[in-house]
Chains A and B, each alone.
Chain A
Amino acid sequence: MKILVTVKQVPDTATKIQIRADGQGIQEDGIKWVINPYDEFAIEEALRIKEKQGGEVVIVALGPSRVEEAVRQSLAMGADRAVVISADASVDPAAAATALAAVCGEEGFDLILTGKQAVDDDSAQVGPMIAANLGLPQVTVVLKLEVDEAGHRLRAERELEGATEIVELPYPAVVTAQRGLNEPRYPTLPNIMKAKKKEVRRVSMDSLSLALEPRVTVNRLFAPPDRPEPTILSGEPEETAKELVRLLHSEAKVL
């Protein structure tokens, strides 16, 4: 099976986000960049399928030159090679999906895996949009994936609010990963060394000759409202518990 995994590089979730003074982006100095955590589940799942059934795992990434690091890490986890589309970090989800779909289509594949969303813009659009672009079925927020190679079908469990559902579909298809799908492996030292020699093909966004006008424009970023000064209680548990319930009941009026 040939599996493509689309990967985004995002700020580590432990990062404090500072908005630039012009509101047009975040301050990037000092940020630790990592593979989008949900994409790690996608990479791991691809590797497990390959280990069981054979085939190839190819990383397809999009972004500025810094994504190289995330790509090498993906290769160190065990992916075979990578394609990187050089692009401005701020392309909108539709443009990213259009470019990724074009490259995926050119590569050829049995399956595309990616994270259920990237933890920077939290759009959760790129996976389904790649599927729509390529006319393929999709299943998103997947907790469990079974591949039936003989029948050329997938059976996926996906997470809903307070429920799960089972979706069956033929492949080629696009599958997006949720936490719980698997436990991503850490790259071993020999694999990190090997990853340095693996093939990374670079493609410029312009060379794809796509119409990529942004469909969504971010006018400005701003900080969430400050939280009010806290009322902190300490002392005897009996007293503090009583006082807290009184405050929630009489002051905040939420009980």
Chain B
Amino acid sequence: MAKGVLVIFDQNNGEIRHVVLEMLTVARSLGDGPVTALTFGKDARNTLDKLAEYGAEQVLFWDGDAYARYSSDGFAAAIAEAVPELGPDVILFPATAWGKDLSARLAGVLKAGLATDCLHLEAGEGGRVKAVRPVYAGKALAEVTVNTPVQMFSLRPNVNAAVPAPATPEILSISPAVDSAAFQAVVVERNEAQGGVLELTEADIIVSGGRGIKAPENFKLLDDMAQALGAAVGSSRPVADEGWVPHSYHIGQTGKVVSPTVYFAVGISGAIQHLAGISGSKYIVAINSDPEAPIFKVANYGIVGDLFQVVPRLTEEIKTVKAQQ
């Protein structure tokens, strides 16, 4: 079968993450073979319209009972069985918890090279894709190539544009014979975060608080500002370590690495490990009472002042601007 790019991702109730559209856009730019999309589970077929809109030429929906519950070993074995028939030279995954789990497993099974969390991919010489990925949480960038016949990459969300290019996908019926009874690690339960919490790694705007916030109850100020902006709320490490916010808020080298359009650092001085985690932000806005704080060195805009004075006024101004739109 023709070579091409196989794009593998998860779906939830027929909904796909924005990164899937970014992956399809990148996949189209990579080669001459077809772009094939593969997803799993009961509502897989409900993703067809979106996949068509973003240029998938072939789609595979593994929606049988065997794929109702995610299993890293089970799914990897099934994909590995289908790969020879599909014959992709490139396989893309989202660099999400799901994608990192499955891509590394599949790379192990296929004995293929995998570059994790790539920012950019481009077609290079001899059919080798040139990838750029952050190392040391973005303190440096690495240009890498994968040497194996199947080249695997996971793509960081929120970095590449998603550009529609309507296609009429052919629905392929390749379906490996799998016995889900042999799946070992199986998801038995999924718990969504409580109401309306925006995921930091996919957020367009983030409002983040540090020690300058002084007390956990003062995070209310940031919640209000985030709500006015439609933003996610994050934090620096010390604040999460103190237990003022859950660990899932922690942004930095040992927490979430984020790439929003705008990152508001409120009362965050800017430790090296925090700056690493936000270096992918397009605009950094710092609000801090200390004009010498390192955060101002990486900021596009800054306010030197008392956050307790500044933030409520910012929230009001933002509401005013939003109301005019």
A→B interface (CB under 8 Å)? 11, 13-17, 19, 26, 37-38, 92-94, 97, 119-125, 127-133, 136-141, 158-170, 173, 179-180, 213-224, 227-228, 230-235, 237-238, 240-242, 244-245, 247-249, 252, 254-255
Contacts and interface: CB of A to CB of B under 8 A. Distances in A.
B76 interface: yes
B313 A241 contact: yes
Contacts of B133: 122
Contact of A119 (B253, B284, B286, B298): B253
A245 B318 contact: yes
16 contacts: A94-B111, A119-B136, A119-B137, A125-B104, A128-B101, A129-B104, A141-B97, A141-B100, A163-B190, A165-B70, A221-B135, A230-B296, A234-B305, A237-B313, A252-B262, A255-B321
Contact of A217 (B147, B253, B262, B272): B147
A11 B137 CA distance: 12
Nearest to A170: B184
Nearest to A101: B108
B136 A227 contact: no
Interface stretch (B29-37, B193-201, B209-217): B193-201
B221 interface: no
Given A119-B137, A221-B141, A166 B188 contact: yes
Contacts of A13: 137, 252-254, 272-273, 276
B147 A215 contact: yes
Interface in B164-200: 184-193, 197-199
Nearest to B136: A17
B163 interface: no
Interface string B57-101: 000000000000010110010000000000000000000111011
Nearest to A38: B254
A125 B304 CA distance: 42
B73 A217 contact: no
Given A13-B254, A163-B191, A227 B101 contact: no
Contacts of B248: 159, 180
A222 B317 contact: no
A207 to B, nearest CB: 22
Interface string B223-240: 000000100000000000
Given A137-B72, A232-B291, 17 more contacts: A119-B254, A122-B136, A124-B116, A125-B108, A128-B108, A159-B97, A161-B97, A161-B201, A163-B190, A219-B142, A219-B143, A220-B142, A221-B141, A227-B284, A237-B313, A248-B283, A249-B321
A139 B198 CA distance: 25
A26 B147 CA distance: 23
